[in-house]
Structure 1
Amino acid sequence: MQTASGDTQSRLPDTIVDESALDELLSRPSPALQSFIKTVSSPLVILGIGGKMGPSLAALALRAAQAADHPLEVIGVSRFKGDGARPWLEKHGVKTISCDLLDAEAVTRLPEAKDVIYLAGLKFGTAQNPSATWALNTLAPARVCERYSRSRIVALSTGNVYARNEVSRGGSIETDPLTPLGEYANAAVARERIFEFHSRRNGTSVALLRLFYAVELRYGVLVDIARKVHAGEPISLATGSFTCIWQRDANEMILSALALAASPPAVFNLCRPEIFSIRQVATRFGELMDRPPRFMAVETGLDLLGNPKKVCDALGQPPVTLETMLRWIAHWVTTGGRNLGKPTHFEVRDGNY
């Protein structure tokens, strides 16, 4: 099954002028997704929908279903703590349910669903309150797996489960040992192991997607670099390389990965296939914004990188290229487009978030 679409790429705008245009682009389904969505059972339940990726993922699923004339209800579950996600979702046709996934009784009351997307997790603040990160990344998945033991589950994981490796190696592959640095990363490994345990015990079909930096115009590693270039702030090269993916492309692959769920879990890295240089990206932003970048430190040659060959072989290449993302982001930053105020802290190397 191939989700990448040359048609999607050919219809991309030169610039994105406002948030309405951005939201439309982030939720624009490819013809391949419109075809695939017919195989998704209603309702589609998205757990942890209130984060950065959830709302546009839900809108993408709904638009694909509408284009395919497929009667799909999308239900979004989150604590909805006043972040504005709930009214946005309901405006776009998503039914919402407020639920704390750490509340075992509340999880048992969630609606039946054959297809489930799991996005819940906690990263930032781990250094100050590690127990909260471990609880959400272990107890919540266990309760969800018990509630949806007969469902197909796509669970979002993170590339942080790997140790750093030499850039020349081409990125971590799915069979590499999971020996990361820091409590957040180890709690993320635990999250994967909880899904694996329940999948093996109950036969639950699971796909684990290890995401390396989703990007749109309001947040992401590329945005962090662009804002530093624009502000004349020095950019550390200690982390010299990274892998990433446009958020719409990531969300389409997350939805399409329902077809890849298996027992024991199928595991995939999720990013574009290229490894990007911080120095080269900042230099290109400098050209686009007429602001020469400033650097500090030097490249170590050891970075957290993903090799997504496995998922690209299964689902196709993500269509939005680095140059397209750079042009969009440079225009957005220089014209004062809104920022979510959620930096990625891509430069962190000690595992403390």
Structure 2
Amino acid sequence: MTSPTTPLLTRDSLPEAFRNVEHLEDFMSLPTAETVADLAALDGDIMILGVAGKMGFSLARMIKRAAPDKRVIGVSRFSEEGGEERLRSHGVETIVCDLLDRDAVAALPRIRNIIYMAGLKFDYRGREDFLWAMNTLAPAIVADTFRDSRIVALSTIHVYPWSDPRRGGVTEATPPLARPGEYANSVVGRERTFQYFSGLHDTPGRLVRFVYAIDMRYGVLQEIANWVRSGSVVPLATGNVNIQWQGDAINHFARLLRHVETPATPINIGGPECISVRHVATRFGELFGVEPVFEGSESDNALFVNCDAAADMLGNPVVTLEPMLRWVADWVGSGKPAYGKPSKFEVRNGIF
């Protein structure tokens, strides 16, 4: 269990703004009381495959804070300098491994609980073969190797068809669809691969169809804030989006280890609201003291999903829209660091 002084993510813990990256990352890796309870009831240690992505560091740190007596292991190629040291400073063990290397994966410790975060979405043009290998072959190697584990594997809402957000969004009952663009198709392959091995080996799992994460350094809100502040046009064709505070998202990922099914089934993870791009831009205009410049009008379809099942199982996120808007406006307005990796939520042709 956590110590009496371990801080938790609650509505009362929300800051007015973030002083710097360290403050942001410390807050974003807070566990909820529900996460602490679920991980205490979970048998075995936890290993995160593909830990070096934008969300993996916060997830690993959060799990270690919530369950300090468990081994938490982060696995990645660690191509960026300092990644291993950053995790180890928070008590997370690290292992360098290429998930396309069967022998290297076979050498990993057999940990009871696996969170799979590896994959490729952007910058695959000219190396489509690598896109498919990362999104289908690596999952096959992992799923076969860790057949005796629980596996929570991240997927994406891009496996869904576009829909009219006024009708409530697509649910998990909607089959994954081969949409335009190789990325979406390859992720359908990733899901089906995990499901095949889950059925073959009776491996309990979940496929996490996750919405757009909100961090101060990237994400839908940061992009819209930059458009508004710089006077760039805000495209409205994709007029509604799903978002979720990254700290809430990683808590839900970890808690899903107690809500796996055999064979693995999908679940939509995200906020409960249908967020209006126009409203968000207008609110940023108020916070920046400028008038947003809009382009086009809202289409009657968007990539929008229904997250009611997750809310029923895990509860709604702690962080709501308004605090995120204020945080992002402060961060962007004060020129704090950004990743420079846009979500491309407005792209409608499936080519990222």
TM-score > 0.5, shorter chain as reference: yes
Aligned position for 1:25: 27
Shift of 1:7: 6.9
Give per-residue Cα distances to partners, 1:239-266, cap 9 Å, x unaligned.
1110010001000000000011111112
Does the 8 Å CA contact 2:9/2:31 hold for their aligned counterparts? no
Tell me what 2:296 maps to.
Answer: 297
Q: Which residue in the other structure is 2:207 paired with?
A: 208
Greater mean deviation of Cα atoms: 34-43 or 226-235:
34-43
- 5 Å matches for 1:111-190? 111-179=109-177, 180-190=179-189
SS at match of 1:165: coil
Residue 104 (structure 2) aligns with: 106
Instruction: State how 1:4-153 maps to structure 2 within 5 Å.
Output: 8-66=10-68, 71-82=69-80, 84-153=82-151
Question: Sequence identity, in percent?
Answer: 44
Q: Which amino acid aligns with 1:259?
A: R
Structure 1 unaligned segments of length 5 or more: list them.
Answer: 1-5
* Equivalent residue letter for 1:18: N
- 1:229 CA displacement: 1.0
Structure 2 equivalent of residue 3 of structure 1: none
* Aligned counterparts of 2:112 and 2:339: Cα–Cα separation in 1: 33
Mapped partners of 1:348, 1:83: distance in 2: 31
C-alpha RMSD of matched pairs (Å): 1.3
Helix, strand or coil: the match of 1:302?
A: coil
Alignment check: 8 A CA contact 2:148 2:203 kept = yes
Unpaired runs of 5+ in structure 2?
Answer: 1-7
CA contact (8 A) 1:159 1:306 kept: yes
* Mean CA deviation greater in 210-219 or 32-41: 32-41
- CA–CA distance in 1 between the matches of 2:9 and 2:53? 29
- Cα distance, 1:83 vs structure 2: 5.0
- Give the letter aligned to residue 135 of structure 1: A
Question: In the aligned structure 1, how far is the partner of 2:9 from the partner of 2:319?
Answer: 11
Amino acid in the other structure paired with 2:345? F
Write out aligned runs for 1:270-309 (5 A). 270-309=269-308
Cα displacement (A) at 1:39: 2.6
State how many pairs are aligned. 344
SS of equivalent to 1:303: coil
Cα distance 1:191–1:7, how it changes in 2: closer, same or farther (>3 A)?
closer
The TM-score normalised by the length of structure 2 is 0.95
Offset from partner CA, 1:184-229 (integer Å, 9 cap, x none):
0010111000000001111000111101101111111111111111
Measured in 2, the distance between the counterparts of 1:7 and 1:46 equals: 21
- The answer to whether the 8 A contact 2:209-2:269 is kept is yes
